[in-house]
Structure 1
């Protein structure tokens, strides 16, 4: 007979997940990431969490509630399993015991963890460190034995996997999956790093949870998953809007140049230097750059807030993006594009004068991909002069705007993978395999981007340009997620 403990009369609309692990494995850090707020205490010490605490994850209009329990960690797991194994009804006997919380603290905390799982959990989220080999984790088998005696379904989560990798996560999962073979209560092994998880992975987690739930919980969980999907996809749409707004503004932006006197035009036609014209263009370019710098800074701060993080965009954050976009292949023969080789050291702040054109970027300004390959004429050319019948103006080149899209998608991926457990947002190196994926996405959509940029020529094309750009960025981001996490986002879309 199973020792699984059920709570009589439990509401079918109330579903609880118990987050449990060996002590100091990162439970509270993962809870913070999933909840989007600081809870509990996090420090590098055993038994920091000393009570089981419930936190609501999501609730529906029908009254369904998904609760995440943060629990104390297992302490002396070998001793715990040995003690339980000496009784014919391990969990029932265990829950009847009261250990002294001061003289035998590890057993006291283990008792709290076991009691929570036995009495509250519908599904156990068992966190392990992927930084160690399963064979080296002496706690693993005793803790699986204890969880087996409790009898609740278990999903194993791999924490501390490090930065996102193009390959390696599957190998980690395969290794740990093999280690838990023979534990029938384990229903799945998934990667969910508290520091570098992407919100898309949460849907894979909840799909595994849903598959482990008893039938009478399925309807409620379906509603809860739908509510969770609505919340996450609303964040996604808000993020795409945040990305689109400054790029659309840059596409529409222009600065009118003062008219040239007839004598200056004549002098220019015979090769005489026009100092006034050069100065006017330089001022126009600085104006464009300053406006873009401000918009991009505000966008980064908006993305940080949308993803429930803390911190502010600083100059270092904005500067770093410029060196993170490199492309070997031009978009086409006519648009060798800012994508073809970003100037890594040119965007380091005020006084970084790009070659002959004199384009100076304000402190911390990031262009994402201003060009090495557009040549030495002018600013290689991030901007161009548009000459109309009555006036001339300076605006951003289409190739430069392509570079902004590339940079924006990289920035978005970085923030979308920033687990709250890491504390305030800080820019860090992007995983190198992201860049070619983003570049390919931009290259694949070169024609659609060109059509978007063409809308700036229309007198009433501003709102349409932003709307079309938002949709295109959304499509590109969805395809990127499908490549990074095959099938995960489709679960999110189905949940809506």
Structure 2
């Protein structure tokens, strides 16, 4: 039987650079204290990060930040065995607090760490970080492999811009031979796929086989990957369920007397019909609202974030309603209703006597920006129908897919270190990526929508059809989301399980 392996990572940085924030993001729970002040962390604390069925354990140490590293290096240079001398000293906790905290951090790295995760503030220029050279010199004396993590990079940006930042820091650290790699892993806006890149870098930094740590870390890395992919599958299920419910939703309109239908066929106004359609739209909007809120709250929980779905997420949804009319309706027309506030619980925007004609989709915040995605084309006339019903237009369902993927990206990039989840504006370049993905998959989505029940029914077989639609939609969403993540983080998912 293979003996279990214990591997330790030490998070270290200049004080107040975001170590505890990153620890919270990776651990998915509150640890330590996060404040905008120096020396918030006052002791080295271990946290189990991931464990395998074989008993392998990966531990993450959150350490106090470096204090006056320039003065520290000056003292170390005066001794023939710098680190040995330094660790043998006992600094006064109160009279020389900065040195005492630095001693705790360096002692942890020297005694516990297999790999050092050294955070730097990417918002600074390397040449302006006066602490950088001295802290790297201390870590070189310790003699452990170092991975430099660029933290506080800000909201996600185009790949070329982020790559330029990484290359700038790599060039600045090119002469630091103990620095194995430089990676971007922002504690506030990282995406989970970037963690795969981190784990691959840790594996490269560890001694190669036959060292027992190599095999143990491979198992730990796989366990971490499995956990994140399980979260991804759950997220796609949450998104697919709410959209599938909307796709299969129907609102049956009351039957009309023959005289009323004849009047409508020659263009006479029909207030009762308009009011019935408006009421049906409100009901559908309310159900859509509930489904979107539920799926968003599930996404938040799946990603181990606190907080319920903020109203801003569901601030504004607009859509198209298609009327499925019986054969003798007598008049074909376009009914396109804009639900300008339905998903925020504001009800339908009932203009022009109850309906807005010819309107395109309007949406905002994370849920949308889908303007111009399409309008209802007309009335479906199907022989043999005995009732009229409303359903969401396929163009609107495509819009729900677009907004769902944007919502997913926003939540998947939200570092838990920020605390309770709140909706924030997504980077503008995401929208075009997502829209392009939806357009590229329009035929596949059309095949999914084609599985919708033909009309409202209580037949049990209709439920089976809805389940098939949901399964196909989940598979489609998963492939689209993986494609987007591959585009945003090339290579990070290359070795993901089939």
Q: TM-score, normalised by structure 2?
A: 0.87
**How far has the Cα of 1:474 moved from its partner?**
0.1
* Structural mapping, 1:389-408, within 5 Å: 389-408=385-404
Aligned to 2:170: 177
* Structural mapping, 1:24-423, within 5 Å: 24-166=16-158, 167-215=160-208, 216=211, 217-319=213-315, 350=346, 353=349, 355-356=351-352, 358=354, 368=368, 372=372, 374=374, 380-381=375-376, 389-423=385-419
Aligned to 2:469: 465
| 8 A contact 1:156–1:190 mirrored in 2 | yes
SS at structure 2 position matched to 1:426: coil
Cα distance in 2, alignment partners of residues 43 and 138 from structure 1: 22
SS at structure 1 position matched to 2:299: helix
Give the count of matched residue pairs: 460
SS at structure 2 position matched to 1:488: coil
- Aligned-pair RMSD on alpha carbons? 2.5
1:476 to 465, 474, 480: 480
Quickly say closer, same or farther: Cα 1:438–1:243, change in 2 above 3 A.
Answer: same
Cα distance in 2, alignment partners of residues 84 and 315 from structure 1: 55
SS at structure 1 position matched to 2:301: helix
Cα distance in 1, alignment partners of residues 68 and 475 from structure 2: 53
SS at structure 2 position matched to 1:319: coil
Deviations, residues 359-401 of structure 1 (Å, cap 9, x unaligned): 699xx99974775575xxxxx5499677652111110000000
Cα distance in 2, alignment partners of residues 102 and 78 from structure 1: 20
**How far has the Cα of 1:95 moved from its partner?**
1.1
Aligned to 2:492: 488
**How far has the Cα of 1:457 moved from its partner?**
3.2
Aligned to 1:332: none
| 8 A contact 1:130–1:160 mirrored in 2 | yes
SS at structure 2 position matched to 1:200: helix
Q: Which runs of 5+ in 2 are unaligned?
A: 320-335, 455-461
Cα distance in 2, alignment partners of residues 184 and 370 from structure 1: 49
Q: Which runs of 5+ in 1 are unaligned?
A: 1-10, 324-337, 375-379
Cα distance in 2, alignment partners of residues 244 and 253 from structure 1: 14
Cα distance in 1, alignment partners of residues 199 and 143 from structure 2: 20
Deviations, residues 338-370 of structure 1 (Å, cap 9, x unaligned): 9xxx99889765255154473699xx9997477
